[in-house]
Amino acid sequence: MPDHAAGAPAADLPTFVPVIVGGDIGAYSLARAFHEAYGLTSVIVSRLAGWHVTDSAITTNVHCDDPFDPAALGPVLARIAAERPEERLVLLGSADATVKPIIRLRDEGDVLDDRWVVPYVDLETFRAGTEKQNFTRLCERLGVDHPATRIVDLAQEVDDAMDIPFTYPVIAKPAEVSEWKRVSFPGKQKVHTVESRDELLALLRTIRGAGYRESIIVQDRIPGDDQGMRILTVYCDARSRVRFGSWGRTLLEEHSPGAIGNPAAIITGVDPEMVEQAQRICAELGWTGYANFDLKFDPRDGRTKFFELNPRLGRSNYYVTAGGHNPVTWYVDEHLGGGLPEPEDGQAPRIVQDQPEVLYTVVPVALVRRYTTLPDARAQLKRVLKARRVANPLVYRGVEKSPRRWKNIALAMANYVVKFQRHYRPDPRP
């Protein structure tokens, strides 16, 4: 990929503005990637702009009453475009729940004209890849490693005789994240760990009673704590060929109820076998743009298992930038820069996936040290820290100068210590 110095957009690119729907750390990480590559300020569209995107020199915040609703989001985007009549606009979502309304506005409405670049698949492909029951069946059909799974349809009453052929504890999580966000019940989490059959039946009835009528995915629980988690981000061109892959080993995830499962610390690396499996998935779907996969290493058989596909650059997308490949340049080069180059010999293009070991973290390094206990993970962490290859997306020195922002970062780091003490007790079971 070509390198772009901050503040110096490539000469052959049209003038463009990044528009990012979402106000979390993932949105800020995307804004930082655009600023590092092109020196651009991003427009952030959200209902409640988090402190990550406020008091920032690289973002402009625009309010939207409900960014998950196309009817509310559309007029806001139209207003942004009207204020910038001479510029192209690159529209991205920082979460699955914002990508779906963006796709609907592009494909079903007349709000987004030809000036908008919306680099996502259509709604049918989105559902085929991201709805967890569909992803499970896809992995089964393609022979892609994945955990044993049972799909429970909550459109029907929960059956006392329901068969769950796994050893407890098991994992229970929603198949439809957008609908999950609309319901509330005591003890709700992003992902539930369930210790017994009776507890599972009670949880399913509680979820259904709260109004959720989509499927729940019940999965075999792969042993091991956060250190077994893996992450893979791939970019597919218009022919669904993977052109870029960024692999990472998670050392620590977030554990507060609203953010559980989000990577908090990742060491970048390379795994061609997992990229090859991702290529099979993306080719079968006809996927284009970014696909972000959650995986976990299973010590019982030594295989790494795919959990799910996220249809965009993930919340922790800055791990890709930290690894030396700014991810937004693939969007820009393909859609605004004349397309991606093809090999002259007619062969399949080489997949870019080389990257050094770098620690991405949004928590204090002391916490990463504390919870990294596996010998091979500790050795990796020691190498990276010795080389001083550490990146936190929020720490943008020389650019972010607001004293209030730096105070918020310091408070966030202190708060992480409190949250991990309260919410995280690593499972001692192997």
Architecture of domain 16-124: 3-Layer(aba) Sandwich (3.40)
| Fold topology of 148-220 | Dna Ligase; domain 1 (3.30.1490)
Contacts of 151 (CB under 8 A, 6+ apart): 132, 133, 136, 175, 215, 216, 217, 218
Interatomic CA distance for residues 149 and 130, integer angstroms: 15
Neighbours of 145 (CB within 10 A): 15
Let me know: does 360 contact 248? Beta carbons within 8 Å. Answer: yes
Count the residues in the chain.
Answer: 430
β-partners of residue 45 are 21, 62
Helix (H) or strand (E) holding 402: none
Considering the chain, what is the average pLDDT of its residues?
A: 93
- Reduced to 3 states, what is the DSSP secondary structure of residue 323? coil
pLDDT, average across residues 169-174: 92
In this prediction the pTM is 0.91
What is the CA angle 375-379-381, rounded to 5?
Answer: 115
Q: CB-based contacts of 91: which residues, under 8 Å, 6+ apart?
A: 19, 21, 77, 102, 112, 116, 117, 118
**Averaged pLDDT for residues 353-366:** 97
Report which of 328, 128, 161, 348 is spatially closest to residue 235, judged by C-alpha positions: 328
Q: Where are the beta strands (DSSP E) in 120-194?
A: 149-153, 170-174, 192-194
Residue 430 in this model has a pLDDT that exceeds 70: no
Domain 226-423 has CATH 3.30.70.260: no
Tokens linked to 426: 């690593």
Tell me how far CA of residue 93 lies from CA of 101, 134, 191, 311, in angstroms.
9, 22, 22, 10
Q: How confident is the model at residue 131 (pLDDT cuts 50, 70, 90)?
A: confident
Query: What pLDDT does residue 399 have?
Result: 97
pLDDT score, position 85 = 95
Distance of CA 205 to the CA centre of its chain: 29
CB 109 within 8 A of CB 118: no
The type of residue at 392 is N
Where exactly are the structural domains of the chain? 16-124, 148-220, 226-423
Band of pLDDT at residue 2, cut at 50, 70 and 90: very low
The answer, yes or no, to whether residue 1 has pLDDT greater than 60, is no
